[in-house]
Structure 1
Amino acid sequence: MLNQSTPPQTESPPRIRFGIVLLPNFTLTAFSGFVDLLRLASDEGDMSRPVRCSWSIVGESLVPVRASCGIQVTPWATFDEAGPFDYVVIVGGLLHSGPSSASDATLKFIRAAAQSPATLVGICTGVFALMRAGVMDGYRLCVSWFHYWDFVERFPQADESKLVADRLFVIDGRRITCSGGRASIDVAAAILLRHVEATIVRKALRILLVDDAQKGHAPQPYPPGLEPATHPKVRRAILLMEQHIGQPLSLVELAHRLDISARQLERLFTTETGKSPHAYGRQIRIRMASWLLTSSDRTVADIATSCGFSDASHLGREFRKEFGESPHAFRTARMQSHAPALEAASEDSE
């Protein structure tokens, strides 16, 4: 007979198991933001015990992995020793400074994880490793706008309709990809909300001085040089314009991707920027063309095609409207104005 004074014992839910792989030159902010939210949500009373979830840093060997800032982190276990995980998290970072690619052993580990019940998570440029491992076919994936063209160049076979560079993160079944930086906290919160009470996650966010987690559809911060827009739909539209400079999206397609009507998008754009979407997109493409004219030796025809103009004549007409001179004259004038400064800098260094 059950003793009425003794409450029935309830079993604690199983811990959520995270395996974290750090790629060479990984971004420390992305890693620390993700794992710190796990730590704070895992226990009560600031004890940092792995009660609700556990995390383990795993690698090809126990050789320390260097972050982009120089700090080194030693894996806790090798891939062969690593136990089963609910989430396998790949944290990337710099692409153009020293070794940054996933090793063959790391790619093998990712492929094995894809065959298990685990969900794969790519943070920052960790999505590049997921692509190299061949485990993203058919899945939508998120990349930072800053690395969008790097991604397209390295993976020309990728389905661009599934490539998202205007949101903080994307959850698509057993694949989660995140733009990196501060968004790693947001994606950690989204994962934890699947398993623990929302009050626990919110408390962890408050301890990190984060008011609230951003949703996956929240826009990434706009690229430098763009006029700020407060409305998230307009900010996402601007990012999509940047992303598709070579093949501009029509107003209807742009509105469809934002899940609003074309008329509503036009109204929002005019209110936020004082320009129509068409005029704003033209300004983005002209600005990119002017930058390419002074920073590269590419032909005007090549630049025109890259920036979404039908040919060199089309670019020339639009350029004269904006700058009052032809692309050739613009390039020559800017090159000549830069030459004295470069000569002076050279003389100072001698």
Structure 2
Amino acid sequence: MPSSFKASVPIDSEAGGHPLSIGFVLLPRFTLLPFAAFVDCLRLAGDEGDMSRQLRCRWTFMTVDGESALSSSGAAIAPCEPYRDPSAFDYLVVIAGVLKDREMVDSRTIDYLKQAERLGVPLVGICTGVFALIQAGLMQGKRCCISWYHHADLIRRFPASIPVPDQLFIDDGDRLTCAGGIASADLAAYLIERHLGRAWAKKSLHIMLIDEARQGNHPQPHPVVLGKVDNRQVRKAISLIEQHLGDTIHVDELAERVGCSRRALERHFRDSLGVSPQKFARDLRLRYGLWLLNFTKKSITEVGERCGFADTAHFSRNFKDTFGYTPSEIRKGEANLRQDLVDPFFLHIGKLGGQ
């Protein structure tokens, strides 16, 4: 039996004015963290202290049949209601998670989202909730914020979409989309500030031990590889390299972990990417360093260490060889890098062989 989170909170009539009202559409196997971060932001802004009464903020959990919603972690949210009149809400927040195929959003949910659109209710897609909005035909011509982790899957399933994998969330007026994770707290705080004022948004975040809300255009904190790689062992090796950007993984170890010989792995990398595993890993670590220099206040020494370089001189030398500028020149804003190197700090598969 899945664990269950009891979510019923009485609405108190003491609230003055119009409370912020959110309807949650919880799709099967939705991701728990973005849901919890969003709803806790509402809860803490909704009342004084930590009393959790639905005064300034109100929220309703809904599923297509009114049954409890099972998250991807196995925890269930209850009680839930069947879909309610969308006009009862200021926003409908659609949260999804594991979507094995494009038909996992059922027809009744699609009809409900279309009804909300006709009534002018703003729709919010969080994590792969944006897949549901696209499947319902509600994102034509609109950018959709997506986690770098789901970027390739989104393009594969919906090639006509306009994915943005380098921001936390996007506000397009009647469509808001969020990459998921803890960024949903930033989006919730953004909506709370809009409707209730900055003090209530800050109060929520501070209790959640979050210093301040990040803006929607804040970059997602992870460099990634974009592009299609057909070879399974190369894909697995890339994933391992991404997970160990602060370490230097020897090619022999990498080959062993992906289940092939060193010579075979080197051949697979050259066939797929046009470079050796060593050069690929070095380039990715340097891209990570470029991102850290642009978007954090870490010292150059700290950046070099985070990228797996033994000393600052080694890091700086490799950095200049790759980008044509020193880390100091990047930090001082003296560099004029090609746009594809800095926006959006990704290492594109198709460009590897020519670098």
Instruction: Mark yes or no: TM-score above 0.5.
Output: yes
Deviation at 1:62, TM superposition (A): 2.4
Q: Deviation digits for residues 236-266 of structure 1, max 9, x if unmatched?
A: xxxxxxxxxxxxxxxxxxxxxxxxxxxxx98
Counterpart for residue 171 of structure 1: 171
Mapped contact 1:92–1:123 kept (Cα < 8 A): yes
Deviation (angstroms), 1:45: 2.6
Q: What is the match of residue 110 of structure 2?
A: 107
Structure 2-normalised TM-score? 0.63
Deviation of residue 268 (structure 1)? 7.9
Report the CA distance between 1:22 and its aligned residue: 1.0
Letter matched to residue 113 of structure 1: A
Whether the aligned pair in 2 keeps the contact of 1:29 and 1:182 (CA below 8 Å) is yes
Please say if residues 88 and 120 of structure 1, whose CA atoms lie closer than 8 Å, have aligned partners that are also in contact: yes
What amino acid maps onto 1:140 in structure 2?
Answer: R
* RMSD of equivalent CA atoms: 3.6
CA contact (8 A) 1:269 1:277 kept: no
Give the C-alpha shift of residue 232 in structure 1: 4.8
Secondary structure at 1:33 match in 2: helix
After superposition, give the CA deviation of every residue in 1:52-87 in whole Å (9 maximum; x if it has no partner). Answer: 111001111122221111111235211157762110
Structure 2: gaps (5+ residues): 1-13, 224-241, 246-283, 297-323
**What is the TM-score normalised by the length of structure 1?**
0.63
Partner of 2:227: none
**CA apart distance, 1:194:** 0.8
Structure 1 runs of 4+ with >4 Å offset? 80-83, 231-234, 265-270, 272-282, 284-289
**Structure-2 change in CA distance of 1:48 and 1:38 (3 Å):** same
Partner of 1:293: none
Q: Judging changes above 3 Å, is the alpha-carbon distance between structure 1 residues 145 and 274 closer, same or farther for their aligned structure 2 residues? A: farther
Q: Is 1:141 matched up with 2:200? A: no
1:271 correspondence with 2:304 = no
The code of the aligned residue for 2:131 comes to F
Q: Deviations over 1:110-141 (max 9, x none)?
A: 11111113110011111010000111123222
2:215 aligned with 1:156, yes or no? no
- 3-state SS of 2:292 partner: coil
- Aligned partner of 1:292 in structure 2 is none
Q: Against the structure 1 CA distance between its residues 13 and 287, is the aligned structure 2 distance closer, same or farther, given a 3 Å change threshold?
A: closer
Unpaired runs of 5+ in structure 1? 1-9, 235-264, 290-306, 310-314, 323-350
1:204: Cα distance to partner?
1.1
User: Counterparts of 2:15 and 2:36 in 1: how far apart (Å)?
Assistant: 31
Take 1:61 and 1:11, find their aligned partners in 2: how far apart are those partners? Answer: 30
Show the counterpart of 1:68.
Answer: 72
Cα offset, 1:154, TM superposition: 0.6
From 47, 52, 61, the counterpart of 1:57:
61
1:148-227 matches, cutoff 5 A:
148-158=151-161, 160=162, 163-223=163-223, 224=242, 225=245, 226=284, 227=288
Distance 2:126 2:109 in 1: 15
SS in 1 for 2:196: coil
Counterpart AA for 1:209: L
Matches within 5 A, 1:295-310: 307-308=350-351
Tell me the equivalent position of 2:45.
41
Residue of structure 2 equivalent to 1:122: 125
Is 1:28 the counterpart of 2:14? The answer is no
Change beyond 3 A, Cα 1:286–1:77: closer
Greater radius of gyration (CA): 1
Aligned partners of 2:193 and 2:201 also within 8 Å = yes
| One-letter amino acid matched to 2:74 | G
Tell me how far apart the structure 2 counterparts of residues 51 and 210 of structure 1 sit (CA, whole Å): 23
Aligned length: 252
